[in-house]
């Protein structure tokens, strides 16, 4: 049923608090039920519910920035049902993620993306004078608003990303300190990762008497040392974590606190999170040595971005490769530098792709996400750049949807082993390695999704600079990393 017809049948005129779903007050084209109050028992089961002889099935959708649930109802009685459908306005959890210049971009973006996947209304707020901030690895992020506009709002959760000196800039923002202190006083959730637990929360006195963790290089600053080696620590309303490598677990723990374990499990599966107690390694076939075109210059990598790309994948690739010292060029395939990613994170590219088309790149690495991968595929300039790269025996790769949506239709996977996001893997010509988290075949590297993106980027670092360099970066990110497993040498 179209939204217009749906809203003609029923208009939501009121909301009451409920841990399951709101009470709704309806106005209908049927006068006998106008003003009827349907209580929350209808929604005891979020998919199927019963109330007053009616059963229903549920769909979720957004309209003008609001979350709705659409119920199709049928009567269990012999008389015709006056209610055929209804739209219910739900009240999403409100989450604040403040950012500053030199915030760790992976941490900020992973938290925002994962919580938005869960249905939270996440506000990314700049503590700087401008909405655009330059994060720790020089990714340009654009906030939704300024922190000053958040002072009168109440949030279900406030999450501080780390990064230095970004965490100090958050700490030194009075408006943010006031918000988080009020959050703690009113027994609402607050959280921080990496440097932020020690630099901000500890300084504000919000961890007194609580167990907490943080990045290993800051753990000595925590007053309570009992849990500093833990990945994620929840004590009362406070949740803390260690770094980029623990950020998926951190964000999922916040989803569980806001929405419950069932929602956390639902969100976790498509993220392709690293299995517990497993140290997966990239699988390599037809092993070749990866070299830069000119050893006297930095290893130059092109990361194309488009509206609708997966922001976690793009930012993780850029961040990790810049940590390795690579010259990473973020290029927009749109007609503008600012792109809006799949979960509405705004990223400003370094250049337009058409302006860097003539440059030589040691590697070209594509993020995934839909419809971003389709926009990459439909970019003629990118197709020319990729074809030039492949023909000149340059390194290229893709993650998530992009191996199947971009590389395969253009013939770049012919005779190659590859992997991709599971729902796209059937499109890959060679199915023998599709279950691997990272696959390297000669000069091609592919991977599966957001939760494999760090391993994907570190495998590229290992191929260029060696295992020791990749391992040291992983340690700094608080991420287990295992050496590439060579399955087949080049004949």
Active site residues: 194
What CA–CA distances, in Å, run from 22 to 266, 419, 428?
A: 22, 43, 45
In contact, 167 and 346? CB cutoff 8 Å: no
Please give the torsion angle defined by the CA atoms of residues 207, 209, 215 and 220, in that order, rounded to the nearest 10 degrees.
120
Query: CA angle, 368 as apex, 364 and 369 as ends, to 5°?
Result: 155
Contacts for 196 with CB less than 8 Å, ≥ 6 apart: 160, 161, 162, 167, 170, 214
In contact, 486 and 284? CB cutoff 8 Å: yes
Beta pairing, strands 363-366 & 300-305? parallel
In contact, 414 and 366? CB cutoff 8 Å: no
In contact, 223 and 241? CB cutoff 8 Å: no
Instruction: Count how many residues are written for the chain.
Output: 491
Phi/psi-derived region of residue 444, left when phi > 0, alpha when psi is between -120 and 50, beta in every other case: beta
What CA–CA distances, in Å, run from 353 to 34, 302, 387, 411?
A: 56, 9, 15, 22
**CA 35 to CA 41: how far, in whole Å?**
18
* Phi and psi angles of residue 136, each rounded to the nearest 5 degrees, phi first: -65, -30
Question: End-to-end distance of the chain based on CA atoms, in angstroms?
Answer: 58
**Spatial CA neighbour of 112 closest among 140, 137, 139, 144:** 144
Beta pairing, strands 189-193 & 132-134? unpaired
**Spatial CA neighbour of 141 closest among 104, 180, 179, 93:** 104
**CA 208 to CA 222: how far, in whole Å?**
9
**CA 356 to CA 354: how far, in whole Å?**
6
- Within 260-410, where are the H helices? 261-271, 311-323, 353-356, 372-377, 380-391, 402
DSSP state, 47?
A: S
């Amino acid at each position: 049923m179209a939204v217009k017809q749906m809203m003609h049948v029923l208009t939501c005129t009121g909301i009451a608090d409920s841990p399951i779903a709101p009470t709704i007050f309806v106005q209908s084209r049927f006068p006998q039920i106008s003003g009827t109050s349907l209580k929350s028992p209808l929604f005891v089961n979020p998919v199927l519910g019963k109330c007053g002889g009616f059963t229903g099935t549920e769909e979720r959708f957004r309209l003008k920035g609001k979350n709705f649930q659409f119920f199709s109802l049928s009567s269990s009685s012999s008389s015709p049902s006056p209610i055929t459908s209804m739209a219910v306005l739900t009240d999403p959890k409100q989450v604040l993620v403040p950012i500053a210049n030199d915030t760790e971009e992976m941490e900020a973006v992973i938290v925002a993306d994962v919580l938005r996947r869960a249905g939270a209304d996440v506000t990314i707020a700049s503590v700087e004078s401008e909405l655009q901030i330059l994060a720790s690895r020089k990714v340009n992020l654009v906030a939704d608003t300024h922190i000053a506009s958040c002072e009168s709002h109440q949030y279900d959760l406030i999450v501080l990303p780390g990064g230095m000196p970004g965490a100090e800039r958050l700490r030194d923002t009075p408006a943010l300190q006031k918000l988080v202190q009020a959050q703690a006083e009113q027994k609402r959730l607050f959280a921080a990762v990496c440097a932020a637990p020690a630099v901000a929360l500890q300084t504000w006195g919000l961890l007194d008497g609580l167990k907490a963790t943080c990045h290993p290089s800051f753990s000595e600053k925590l007053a309570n040392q009992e849990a500093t080696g833990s990945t994620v620590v929840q004590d009362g309303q406070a949740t803390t974590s260690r770094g980029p490598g623990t950020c998926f677990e951190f964000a999922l723990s916040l989803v569980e606190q806001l929405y419950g374990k069932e929602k956390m499990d639902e969100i976790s599966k498509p993220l392709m999170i690293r299995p517990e107690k497993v140290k997966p390694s990239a699988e390599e076939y037809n092993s070749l040595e990866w070299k830069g075109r000119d050893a006297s210059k930095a290893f130059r990598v092109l990361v194309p971005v488009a509206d609708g790309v997966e922001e976690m994948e793009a930012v993780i690739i850029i961040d990790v490769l810049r940590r390795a010292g690579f010259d990473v060029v973020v290029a927009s395939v749109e007609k503008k530098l600012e792109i809006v990613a799949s979960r509405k994170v705004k990223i400003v590219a370094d250049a337009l792709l058409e302006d860097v088309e003539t440059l030589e790149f040691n590697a070209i690495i594509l993020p995934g996400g839909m419809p971003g991968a389709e926009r990459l595929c439909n970019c003629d300039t990118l197709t020319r750049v990729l074809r030039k790269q492949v023909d000149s025996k340059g390194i290229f790769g893709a993650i998530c949807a992009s191996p199947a949506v971009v590389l395969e239709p253009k013939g770049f996977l012919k005779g190659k082993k590859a992997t991709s996001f599971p729902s796209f893997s059937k499109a890959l010509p060679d199915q023998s390695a599709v279950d691997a988290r990272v696959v390297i075949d000669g000069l091609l590297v592919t991977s599966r999704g957001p939760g494999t993106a760090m391993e994907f980027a570190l495998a590229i670092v290992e191929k260029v600079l060696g295992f020791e360099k990749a391992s040291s970066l992983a340690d700094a990110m608080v991420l287990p990393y295992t050496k590439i497993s060579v399955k087949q040498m080049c004949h």
